[in-house]
């Protein structure tokens, strides 16, 4: 006997309400089979994989298994078995004619749970790793960000030494052009200050290990390097000061020599000794400055390897180790002053070397009784 073709559902049946199984015991096997096929069509028409996944999770029973199934990618779900799960949840008892679908569903659930648990294990491991990872403080992040620029300046120091302690590098300009945050300057200063102090100690020669370590640098070059490091630190402090409370620091105004010496307190001339002061702006960039105190008769000799400057009434950037003053006997003043003012390099050097007096440290301070008698560039 020929098998009767299954009934193909009409469009209105697919758009109707969800199939129910209240009368399943009244249906013959063939009718039940048709009802089941129509139900699958209805679910296929009205739902997608994501819904099928939710049906399987609900059918799984335990919350743990449901979570595992929910962790899966919905596109990997077999929607037909998801719809079978929904029918089971709605009361379909799966008699022998439909038993194979129930068996497939019961085999499928453990597979999904196993796959989902693997995904959850990986996610959990990542979460634990993230929690246990060391937390980098804001201060540490700032220090790390500053280290790159500190490394750049260290490279400039190396270049300075290799070039015979000469360089046109300007730390302030670099900080400004790179728009480095003023808050980083704390770490810059902490890094370069000990290096500066170490070279000062090496120059004094009190530590044998440091003397040996930097023996490749002559004393004049050590002095130049110390001055270079001092400028780096001072520029960092200046940038920190200008950046405080501002998003962008003002560009530093370049002062002319006249601007730098406008508040310098000195004596323009002295009739008793017959001397006149040179123009004070000539001090800027000078390698030698000779100042005579008309009241105490002290001759001050200032030496600089990098060029001097002035702040207020004080000389800056002179080498304290090479600079000094000596007191001249009144009867000897005329000759010494003539040698200092008019003498060549040899006579200038000998003018104060021949004075039988003790060398006294100088402070750089220039007062109203002092005449600037000679400047050497």
Q: How far apart are the first and last CA of the chain?
A: 125
Helices (H) and strands (E) in the chain, counts: 14, 8
Q: What's the mean per-residue pLDDT of the chain?
A: 85
Q: Where are the domains of the chain?
A: 11-132, 140-243, 257-376
What's the mean pLDDT in 111-140?
A: 80
Q: How far is CA 79 from CA 6, 69, 319, in A?
A: 22, 13, 88
Structure tokens at 264: 């310098």
Q: Residue 111 pLDDT > 90, yes or no?
A: yes
Q: What is the pLDDT of residues 217-231, one digit of tens each?
A: 898 998 999 999 999
Q: How far is CA 333 from CA 91, 297, 339, in A?
A: 124, 8, 10
Contact 218, 192 (CB under 8 A): no
Q: Are strands 275-276 and 269-270 parallel, antiparallel or unpaired?
A: antiparallel
What's the mean pLDDT in 94-102?
A: 92
Q: What is the pLDDT of residues 35-49, one digit of tens each?
A: 999 999 999 989 999
Beta-carbon neighbour count of residue 307 at 10 Å?
14
Q: Residue 3 pLDDT > 90, yes or no?
A: no
Please return the burial class of 351, using the count of CB atoms within 10 Å of its CB with bins 0-12, 13-18 and 19+.
buried
Q: How far apart are CA 313 and CA 304, in angstroms?
A: 17
Which pTM does this prediction carry? 0.38
Contact 372, 277 (CB under 8 A): yes
Higher pLDDT, 92 or 256: 92
Q: Are strands 309-311 and 314-316 parallel, antiparallel or unpaired?
A: antiparallel
Residue 249 — pLDDT band, cuts 50, 70, 90? very low
DSSP 371: E
Distance of CA 280 to the CA centre of its chain: 43
Which residue reads 């997608």 in tokens?
48
- The DSSP H or E segment spanning 144 is helix 138-162
Of the spans 84-93, 200-209, 279-288, which averages the highest pLDDT? 84-93
Q: For residue 345, which of 279, 304, 287 has the smallest C-alpha distance?
A: 287
């Amino acid at each position: 006997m020929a098998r009767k073709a299954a009934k193909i559902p009409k469009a209105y049946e697919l758009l109707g309400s969800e199939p129910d199984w209240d009368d399943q015991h009244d249906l013959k096997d063939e009718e039940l089979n048709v009802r089941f096929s129509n139900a699958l069509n209805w679910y296929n028409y009205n739902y997608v994989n994501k819904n099928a996944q939710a049906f399987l999770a609900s059918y799984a029973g335990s919350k743990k298994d449901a979570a595992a199934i929910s962790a899966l990618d919905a596109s990997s779900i077999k929607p037909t078995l998801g719809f079978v799960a929904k029918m089971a949840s709605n009361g379909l008892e799966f008699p022998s004619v439909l038993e194979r679908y129930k068996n497939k569903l019961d085999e499928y659930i453990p597979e999904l749970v196993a796959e989902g648990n693997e995904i959850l294990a990986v996610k959990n491991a990542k979460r634990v790793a993230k929690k246990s990872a060391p937390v980098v403080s804001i201060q540490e992040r700032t220090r790390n960000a500053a280290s790159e620029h500190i490394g750049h300046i260290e490279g400039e120091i190396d270049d300075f030494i290799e070039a015979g302690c000469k360089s046109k590098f300007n730390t302030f300009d670099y900080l400004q052009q790179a728009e480095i945050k003023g808050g980083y300057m704390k770490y810059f200063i902490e890094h370069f200050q000990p290096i500066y102090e170490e070279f000062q100690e090496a120059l004094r020669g009190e530590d044998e290990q440091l003397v040996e370590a930097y023996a490749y640098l002559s004393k004049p070059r050590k002095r130049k390097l110390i001055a270079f490091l001092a400028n780096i630190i001072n520029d960092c402090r200046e940038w920190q000061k200008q950046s405080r409370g501002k998003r962008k620091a003002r560009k530093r105004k370049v002062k002319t020599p006249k601007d730098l010496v406008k508040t310098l307190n000195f004596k323009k001339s002295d009739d008793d000794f017959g001397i006149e002061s040179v123009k004070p702006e000539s001090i800027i960039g000078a390698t030698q400055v000779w100042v005579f105190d008309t009241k105490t008769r002290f001759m001050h000799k200032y030496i600089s390897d990098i060029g001097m400057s002035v702040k207020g009434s004080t000389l800056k950037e002179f080498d304290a180790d090479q600079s000094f003053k000596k007191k001249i006997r009144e009867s000897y003043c005329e000759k010494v002053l003539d040698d200092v003012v008019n003498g060549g390099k040899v006579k200038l050097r000998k003018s104060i070397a021949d004075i039988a007096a003790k060398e006294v440290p100088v402070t750089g301070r220039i007062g109203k009784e002092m005449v600037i008698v000679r400047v050497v560039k």
